[in-house]
Amino acid sequence: MAFELGDIAAWAPSEPVDLIFSNAALHWIENHDQLFTRLTGALSAGGQFAVQVPANHDHPSHVVAERVAADEPFRTALGGYVRRTPVLAPERYAQLLHRLGCASQHVRLQVYLHVLAEPAGVVEWVKGTLLTDYQRRLPDAMYEDFVARYQKLLTAELPDARPFPFSFKRVLLWGRFA
């Protein structure tokens, strides 16, 4: 077994591998049809592909971030950029794996419940995930303004439950290739 540091978007092993495993990384890379074709093409006969990608793009935590990014002054500062997920619906992944020659597969949507102290905890949660993309693209002071507006709009949309049940969807998929 060997591990190697590299860019997933450009990774290509020198020889076929038995397993490709990814946990919450591939959702940062565009065009999953092309990406999965390339990655599964690197598998040896009987190789396995096991992936987990977040799929919460329809939750207010993500929808509100898109809305804030599309508003001024953020739209101009971001050059019109709005983070859109490349994550496909589970059934699309099942069809994609089949098309790629997967002999056996399991694809499912799993909902995890994260119990947070209050709705504002969602903001802290996504600061380490979704909002990192905006943080990377905005000056520090503007990013703080972005987060403040995001928090105000998001907490207005979420129920004021304490503790707050934050549901988070993920697509889990596994396949063995012939």
Position 5 scores a pLDDT of 83
C-alpha 74 chain-centroid distance: 22
Position 116 scores a pLDDT of 98
In the chain, how many domains are there?
1
Task: Answer yes or no: is 3 within a domain.
Answer: no
Task: Answer yes or no: is 9 within a domain.
Answer: no
CA distance 107 to 97: 9
Task: Answer yes or no: is 131 within a domain.
Answer: yes
Position 1 scores a pLDDT of 72
Q: Which CATH number is 49's domain given?
A: 3.40.50.150
Q: What would the two tokens of residue 50 be?
A: 């096991």
Task: Answer yes or no: is 4 within a domain.
Answer: no
- Find where tokens 């020659």 sit: 101
Position 3 scores a pLDDT of 76
Task: Answer yes or no: is 8 within a domain.
Answer: no
Which residue ranges in the chain fall short of pLDDT 70?
none
Task: Answer yes or no: is 2 within a domain.
Answer: no
CA quadruple 111, 116, 119, 124: dihedral, nearest 10: -90
Position 4 scores a pLDDT of 74
CA distance 38 to 35: 5
- Which residues, in sequence order, are bridge partners of residue 171? 53, 109
Position 162 scores a pLDDT of 97
Task: Answer yes or no: is 110 within a domain.
Answer: yes
- Which residues, in sequence order, are bridge partners of residue 174? 50, 106
pTM for the model = 0.92
Phi, psi of 87 (to 5 degrees): -65, 135
Radius of gyration from C-alpha coordinates of the chain: 19
User: What range does the domain containing 67 cover?
Assistant: 18-177
Task: Answer yes or no: is 156 within a domain.
Answer: yes
C-alpha distance across the termini of the chain, in Å? 21
